[in-house]
Amino acid sequence: PKKFLENNDCALWMYTPKKEMPSYYRNADGDDCWFIHKGEGLVETDFGPLKYRKGDYIVLPRGTTYRFFPSGKENFYLLIEAASEYELPDRGQLGRQAFFDPGVLEIPKAEPSKTGPTGKGPDGKPEWEIKIKREGTYTSFFYPYNQLDIEGWKGDLFSWKLNVEDIRPIVSARFHLPPSVHTTLVAKNFVICTFAPRPMETGDPKAQRVPFFHRNIDYDEVIFYHAGDFFSRENIGPAMVTWHPQGFHHGPHPKALANQFTKEFADEYAVMIDTVNPLKAVDAAGACEVADYRYSWKAK
């Protein structure tokens, strides 16, 4: 994985595997939330395996041992690494079934591992490697048996997944709701929101149908564009990312603002990460930056 944004609370990574991970992996620094933008396969965990597909969020708590086995060559995953635990948001008077029913969350069922070893030991016999990340440093442990050969687990800590197709957005016919209504997961000092297909504000002829102009005073705003027609942005396609730092005003592009009343349905999937503390661009960010993005608000 290649890291492109980070602060002390979270880090964002891109991962485009061509084959299975070369070893098992355990993050001792925080919880991992993987978003499957493209691809499908199996992720083995020490709670059991989970099959995944396009549009899945996969939450792997701190200390979970896991390994991805993609089934094809075209894969693109977004990793949102949290220094704290992921929790579901409180929906207040809407009730716990709002946005998505917790009953659609899929958890693994323990079973013996069906995957092979990660290498051979000095004696030529199979061995299984686990890479453990702690304070950004990786340490490898080697075992003569598969640590994920499990028969069961107990407790209320486990890995789980949610597909964006199971999300039912909260909408209003007469008022453009703020992005916070789309919050999917909550962690310390940041949230993950999901924009899913939804009807636009057609109940009032004067209701704004595109995002407000705003300055992000309290949060850095990162949006990963997954699929669909991103109406409020021009020249934005799947797998692209926008990052709007705190205090920098922005809003819909001129064409979207002018044509907002011609749209009755927002056909889009996107993942938004809002962070209380400012993010910093690292590693891969400079290599994929669209330098002229700031000019995209100029009228044509």
How does pLDDT run across 60-79, given as a tens digit for each residue?
Answer: 999 999 999 999 889 999 99
Count, residues in the chain: 300
Q: For residue 263, give the amino acid letter.
A: K
Residue 184 contacts residue 194 (beta carbons within 8 Å): yes
CA distance 12 to 281: 10
Q: Which of 56, 21, 26, 24 is nearest to 40 (CA)?
A: 56
pLDDT at 228 over 80: yes
What residues have CB less than 8 Å from 18, skipping those under 6 apart?
Answer: 70, 73, 75
Q: How confident is the model at residue 127 (pLDDT cuts 50, 70, 90)?
A: very high
Quick one: pLDDT at residue 62? 97
pLDDT at 123 over 80: yes
Q: Which SS3 state, helix, strand or coil, does residue 297 take?
A: helix
CA distance 100 to 89: 11
How does pLDDT run across 130-149, given as a tens digit for each residue?
Answer: 999 999 999 999 999 999 98
How does pLDDT run across 7-21, given as a tens digit for each residue?
Answer: 999 999 999 999 999
Kindly list the distances between the CA atom of residue 252 and the CA atoms of 151, 212, 233, in Å, as whole numbers in the listed order.
52, 7, 6
